[in-house]
Structure 1
Amino acid sequence: MPGKDDNARKAHIDNMNALLADYFALYVKTKNFHWHVAGPQFHDLHLLFDTHAQELFALTDIIAERVRKNGAKTLTSLGAIKDRARIADEDRADLSAQAMIRQLRDDNVKLIKGIRSAKDSAGQVGDNATDGMSDDWTDEAEQRVWFLSQLLEG
């Protein structure tokens, strides 16, 4: 029978792999919107979405390596990502710019919850590196939420 520490470690790995899946899902959605945004804000949103996508993608390798450094396997396929992601797909290419902004803002809020969950589980198992890095990940996601929220004002 697994001990409490084994259960905590498994929960932490599950949190980290779900977070990794969320990052990949949000990256793909952000790139979709980068490619398909239209309207008066096209230039600015095209560039903003690309910047956000780059930030998201940059963390996928770091998160996956944290899983491996914790002695576990990480996601291996698109199917594994889809099965674990809490960020919903968006297949439409004809959304308004405002609808895209709203979805990305809301998805980044979901991402923050996932980061905080991973931070909590990291603390429980003594994964100090993930615990510390997650503060930066949270700050980056909060900045994206702030930028996107400001675009919805007025």
Structure 2
Amino acid sequence: MSSESDIKKRRTKAINTPSPLGTDAVRDISGELNALLADILALYLKTKNFHWHMSGPYFRDYHLLLDEQADQIYATVDPIAERVRKLGGTTLRSLGHAKRLQRLLDNDADYATPDDMLAELREDNLQLAAYMRATHALCDEHGDVATASVLENWIDEAENRVWFLFETSRRA
């Protein structure tokens, strides 16, 4: 039977994942990726919130668009967290941890118009792409080509969402 001190030691023991990057690179990139992960979780939930609360004459099209976009956003969650671990860092442990790192704003309004929803998501995706570019620059600075490479695909996806949200909200 393990003693309380043995259990405590196991809980606080460093993981020490081998990494070809230096300690500073692991700390810096992991920190940025965790903030990005917190933003992605916030954007995912906001996109689903708007998907669930969509109404109006374009309901079906907007509802399906936001569901598609939410799925795409959610698909980045595990790869980002696993990238942090591959680097030798630790990742988010709770919603509270995510909330402390989140930079994108939540929307808890009782009602938002469909146009306001699309505009807010467009701006959030633009901001997310900017955060990803900054993280990419940090990866370049530390020579982390693997993380930079996956970020390029996620930047493209965010820009694609911006484009769709923009074109969808335009009126003839």
Report TM bin, short chain.
over 0.9
- Which of 9, 13, 19 is matched with 2:36 structurally? 19
List aligned pairs for 1:29-40, cutoff 5 A. 29-40=46-57
User: In terms of Rg, which structure is larger?
Assistant: 2
Give the whole-Å Cα distance in 2 for the aligned partners of 1:8 and 1:134.
16
Give the number of equivalent residue pairs: 150
Matched, 1:104 2:121: yes
Matched ranges for 1:3-152 at <5 A: 5-152=22-169
| AA in 1 matched with 2:125 | N
Whether the 8 Å contact between 2:38 and 2:101 is mirrored in structure 1 is yes
Task: Tell me the distance in 1 between the aligned counterparts of 2:28 and 2:85.
Answer: 15
Greater CA deviation, 47-56 or 11-20? 11-20
Normalising by structure 1, report the TM-score: 0.93
Q: 2-side partners of 1:51 and 1:107: how far apart? A: 16
Q: Distance in 2 between matches of 1:63 and 1:150?
A: 29
Cα distance in 1 between the residues matched to 2:58 and 2:153: 29
8 Å Cα contact 2:30/2:84 also seen in 1: yes
Gaps of 5+ in 2: 1-21
**Which is richer in helix?**
1
Residue segments in structure 1 that go unaligned for 5+ positions in a row: none
Which portions of structure 1, spanning 4 or more consecutive aligned residues, are displaced by more than 3 angstroms? 5-9
Distance 2:117 2:166 in 1: 12
Identity %: 45
C-alpha RMSD of the superposition: 1.1
With the length of structure 2 as denominator, give the TM-score of the two structures: 0.84
User: Could you tell me how far apart the structure 2 residues matched to 1:6 and 1:69 are?
Assistant: 13
Q: How far does the alpha carbon of each residue in 1:28-78 deviate from its partner, in whole angstroms, 9 at most, with x for none?
A: 000000000000110000000000000000100000000000101000100
**Residues 35 and 46, structure 1, Cα contact 8 Å, conserved in 2:** yes
Deviation digits for residues 122-143 of structure 1 (CA, Å, limit 9, x no counterpart): 1222221111111110110000
Contact 1:19 1:114 in 2 (8 A): yes
